[in-house]
């Protein structure tokens, strides 16, 4: 299961698993029922060092690498994928650009308290008319003296309703194409920012929203890494994020398989456990095989990042396989449980709904097939 991980990473997995069961598990039922993300979770994760797994000790991190962060997401997702997503967005998407491209002042003001869990972050890229086609975003930032004025709308933003600050991607020069984008750190709340909460099918404990910027004025120092060239910065941010979210997908898949296997061993039908029937055992065997293959791909992509590589194809392979493994495994689990899995309140029912998230976020499965095909020269 641990795929010859180092002793340190195996010990870290156990630490992450213990944290998930001790700290996250007691919050799940209430958070899912209320469709709210408990803010105390960020403080607990920060105190445990889990919000800065990949960042250096100089800013309060652990310096453990992308593979460790992926394993953390995997273990948290086994307990609750929604809460795992909320933590992961604040510890990566909403903070990584500040660490990589921000100056010392920005890091001390935003990154350090975020890694402690004192504040929550969000990342604003997707818009109503621009998802996979990032170049089609319409949010604009116009320079006005010592300030930037931001106007536009972002949607499906995780943590939008609870964030203290948000990374916003906007065009500063639309005539320059992709090179004319910049990233800004925007404080929340703001009287000129309207946040609308959105309901969704799964990940109920992870809050998302639509964020409208109506001439929001931010100081020049809010710009991250220059007023142009953010496209490459966004792609680097998303690349690592895709590996980490894939950890959540394989965690979701594995939890569904393990629950279904236990149920198949215990549930009798026609005088024997249903797991003795090949109609049950073979689909579970296939789901296990697909999940194990996906895990290998995900860990490989994470390891390549830790070797200072830029594994574009490997990231897309990992994300595609992991997302599809989550869909397949949770579908099998629901079928194994039958009516007991279909009723609300069953964990496999929640896993089934949560799994639908993975082929959509951080690049759809179709987009990743397109990336893989392009790397094949097609």
pLDDT tens digit sequence for 264-281: 999 999 999 999 999 999
pLDDT digits (tens, 9 = 90+) for 40-56: 999 999 999 999 999 99
Q: What is the pLDDT of residue 307?
A: 94
Of 6-10, 115-119, 120-124, 313-317, where does mean pLDDT reach its minimum?
A: 6-10
362 counts as catalytic: yes
What 3-state class would DSSP assign to 68?
A: helix
CA-nearest of 163, 19, 29 to 86 is 163
Confidence of residue 1 (pLDDT cuts 50, 70, 90): very low
Q: What is the pLDDT of residue 131?
A: 84
Neighbours of 296 (CB within 10 A): 14
Eight-class DSSP state of 135: G
Do the Cβ atoms of 13 and 24 come closer than 8 Å? no
Q: What is the pLDDT of residue 3?
A: 61
Give, rounded to a whole angstrom, the gap between the first and last alpha carbons of the chain. Answer: 35
Rounded CA-CA distance 351/341 in Å is 10
The full set of domains in the chain, from first to last, is 7-116 (1.10.540.10), 121-228 (2.40.110.10), 231-375 (1.20.140.10)
Confidence of residue 132 (pLDDT cuts 50, 70, 90): confident
pLDDT digits (tens, 9 = 90+) for 286-336: 999 999 999 999 999 999 999 999 899 999 999 999 999 999 999 999 999
pLDDT (average), residues 210-224: 96
Dig out the tokens for 36 from the structure. 């709210």
- Does the pTM surpass 0.85? The reply is yes
CA-nearest of 284, 259, 286, 261 to 273 is 261
195 bridge partner residues: 211
State the number of CA atoms in the 13 A half-sphere of 99 facing the CB: 26
Is 90 exceeded by the pLDDT of residue 240?
yes
Name the pairing type of β-strands 165-171 and 121-124: parallel
Rounded CA-CA distance 339/140 in Å is 50
Is 70 exceeded by the pLDDT of residue 344?
yes
The CA dihedral of 219, 192, 91, 110, to the nearest 10 degrees, is 30
pLDDT digits (tens, 9 = 90+) for 135-188: 899 999 999 999 999 999 999 999 999 999 999 999 999 999 989 999 999 999
Distance, C-alpha 331 to centroid of its chain = 21
Q: What is the pLDDT of residue 134?
A: 86
CA quadruple 142, 197, 78, 263: dihedral positive or negative?
negative
pLDDT (average), residues 235-246: 95
Is 60 exceeded by the pLDDT of residue 368?
yes
- Mean residue pLDDT across the chain: 96
Neighbours of 34 (CB within 10 A): 11
Q: What is the pLDDT of residue 288?
A: 98
Catalytic site residue from 207, 210, 349, 362: 362
Rounded CA-CA distance 264/208 in Å is 36
Do the Cβ atoms of 359 and 365 come closer than 8 Å? yes
Eight-class DSSP state of 363: S
Token pair 């393990």 is found at 258
Is 60 exceeded by the pLDDT of residue 2?
no
In angstroms and rounded to an integer, the radius of gyration of the C-alpha atoms of the chain is 21
pLDDT digits (tens, 9 = 90+) for 54-78: 999 999 999 999 999 999 999 999 9
Token pair 């990374």 is found at 167
């Amino acid at each position: 299961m641990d795929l010859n991980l180092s002793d340190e990473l195996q010990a870290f997995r156990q630490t992450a698993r213990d944290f998930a069961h001790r700290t996250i598990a007691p919050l799940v039922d209430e958070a899912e029922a209320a469709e709210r993300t408990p803010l105390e979770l960020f403080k607990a994760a920060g105190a445990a060092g889990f919000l800065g797994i990949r960042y250096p000790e100089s800013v309060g991190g652990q310096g453990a690498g992308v593979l460790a962060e992926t394993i953390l997401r995997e273990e948290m997702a086994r307990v609750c994928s929604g809460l795992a997503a909320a933590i992961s967005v604040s510890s990566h998407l909403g903070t990584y650009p500040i660490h990589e491209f921000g100056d010392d002042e920005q890091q001390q003001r935003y990154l350090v308290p975020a890694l402690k869990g004192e504040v929550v972050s969000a990342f604003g890229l997707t818009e109503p008319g621009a998802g996979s086609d990032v170049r089609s975003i319409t949010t604009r930032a116009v320079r006005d003296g010592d300030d930037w004025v931001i106007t536009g709308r972002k949607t499906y933003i995780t943590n939008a309703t609870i964030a203290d600050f948000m990374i916003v991607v906007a065009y500063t020069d639309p005539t320059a194409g992709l090179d004319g984008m910049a990233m800004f750190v925007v404080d929340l709340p703001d009287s000129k920012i309207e946040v609308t909460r959105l309901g969704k099918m799964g990940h109920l404990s992870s809050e998302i929203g639509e964020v409208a910027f109506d001439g929001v004025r931010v100081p020049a120092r809010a710009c991250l890494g220059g007023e142009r060239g953010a496209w490459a910065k966004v792609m680097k941010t998303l690349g690592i994020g895709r590996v980490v979210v894939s950890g959540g997908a394989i965690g979701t898949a594995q939890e569904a398989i393990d629950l279904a296997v236990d149920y198949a061993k215990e549930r009798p039908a026609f005088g024997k456990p249903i797991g003795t029937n090949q109609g049950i055992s073979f689909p579970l065997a296939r789901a296990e095989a697909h999940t194990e293959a996906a895990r290998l791909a995900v860990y490989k992509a994470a390891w390549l990042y830790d070797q200072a590589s830029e594994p574009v194809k490997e990231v897309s392979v990992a994300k595609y396989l992991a997302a599809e493994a989550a869909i397949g495994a949770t579908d099998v689990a629901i079928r194994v449980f039958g009516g007991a899995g279909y009723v609300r309140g069953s964990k496999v029912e929640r896993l089934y709904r949560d799994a639908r998230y993975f082929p959509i976020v951080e690049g759809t499965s179709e987009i990743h097939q397109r990336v893989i095909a392009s790397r094949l020269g097609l």
